[in-house]
Structure 1
């Protein structure tokens, strides 16, 4: 079992992200925390899935 499998088996919300912030996989606890089905999260940037109040502030003007 790899470290990524171990991470996703944890009870705490966990997700595997690419360097670009794209969700590759997540556990059920993370999907619940995001309030979305896991299938809707995979392939999207993590900040798109966060509530607007928790998203990073953009420095673009």
Structure 2
């Protein structure tokens, strides 16, 4: 709060957080991503919903295990 971070962040996460995730993936997993390829969500259910909503077409069948 003292730093002025009292508002909602960008929908895909703050630039600093996404950069930190990129660094972690490179260091620990040998993966090469750019911050613009990273999306931070509020939970697994929300991320799965968003991923399916942008990749499925009307009439596609989805089987949930």
Considering fraction of residues, name the structure with more strand. Answer: 1
Considering fraction of residues, name the structure with more helix. Answer: 2
Indicate the structure (1 or 2) with the bigger Cα radius of gyration: 2
Query: Does TM, normalized by the shorter one, top 0.5?
Result: no
TM-score under structure 2 length normalisation: 0.26
- Pick 1 or 2: higher relative contact order, CA cutoff 8 A, min separation 6: 2
